[in-house]
Amino acid sequence: MEEVTEKYKDLAEETIESETLFHGKVFDTIVKKVRIADGSVRSREIVKHNGGACILPLDDDGWCYMVRQFRSPFEKIFLEVPAGKIEPGEDPRNCAIRELLEETGLVADTIIDLGRMVATPGYDSEIIYLYGARGLRFEGECPDDGEVLKCEKIRFSDLLKMADDGIIEDSKTLLCIYKMSGRL
């Protein structure tokens, strides 16, 4: 968490109280009362999430291994990099490696750290750690129970075009594609 510097401390909020309204398997919802710089009290609704990790696997011939998965909030199928939620205490890199194997059946000789992203800081604490994978070999898929997805092989150059054309909408996938393109 970034420290509040003297220059911006008037933007900070003081938490007065916090209440968990819902505790789930994937996230909790919290309502906080906060005091803002002018002294008034406001309410903040927050989704508390353990975070996630994703990985863009790219082979030596320029092919990427992506997944198509139905996403209930949007009632549609998205094209995404392999990804999943970080289990409590799990290292984000290990999460990405686990998801790569589960969703594509691949293992990688090289894992590239592409940074991290905060998708919706206005109400969600989720941090997504981004990775690339090179030196790929197939070991065999082992998806999570209840996880329904299809792995698809797509040229990296086509992914870049799909990202630019708005065909790919998922933010973690877009960021992985663009960050990986800067490393090639």
Q: What is the pLDDT of residues 36-45, one digit of tens each?
A: 999 999 999 9
For residue 1, name the pLDDT band (cuts at 50, 70, 90): very low
Q: Residue 121's domain is classified under what CATH number? A: 3.90.79.10
Residue 6 is predicted with a pLDDT of 83
In a domain, 97, yes or no: yes
Residue 2 has pLDDT above 80, yes or no: no
Contact at 8 Å (CB) between 145 and 55? no
Contact at 8 Å (CB) between 160 and 62? no
Q: Distances from the Cα of 141 to the Cαs of 62, 82, 97, 134, 150, in angstroms?
A: 21, 12, 13, 18, 11
Residue 3 is predicted with a pLDDT of 63
Q: What is the mean pLDDT of residues 146-174?
A: 96
72 and 32 in a common domain? no
- Name the residue with tokens 């996630």: 52
Buried/exposed 134-148: b ≥16 CB within 10 Å, e otherwise: bebeeeeeeeeeeee
Number of domains in the chain: 2
Q: Look over the chain and give the mean of its residue pLDDT values, rounded to a whole number.
A: 94
**Tokens encoding 118:** 């905060």
42 and 25 in a common domain? yes
24 and 70 in a common domain? no
Contact at 8 Å (CB) between 70 and 77? yes
In a domain, 149, yes or no: yes
In a domain, 79, yes or no: yes
Residue 164 has pLDDT above 50, yes or no: yes
In a domain, 1, yes or no: no
Sheet holding 41-49, edge to edge: 14-23, 27-35, 41-49
CA distance linking residue 85 with residue 98, whole number of Å: 11
- Which neighbouring-strand residues pair with 138? 106
- Which neighbouring-strand residues pair with 41? 35
CA distance linking residue 184 with residue 182, whole number of Å: 6
- Assign 163 to helix, strand or coil: helix
Residue 142 has pLDDT above 80, yes or no: no
In a domain, 42, yes or no: yes
Name the percent of the chain lying above pLDDT 90. 87
81 and 112 in a common domain? yes
Domain span at residue 32? Answer: 6-49
18 and 105 in a common domain? no
Other CB atoms closer than 10 Å to residue 46's CB: what's the count? 18
**Tokens encoding 38:** 């002018």
Q: What is the mean pLDDT of residues 8-16?
A: 91
135 and 170 in a common domain? yes
150 and 78 in a common domain? yes
CA distance linking residue 46 with residue 35, whole number of Å: 16
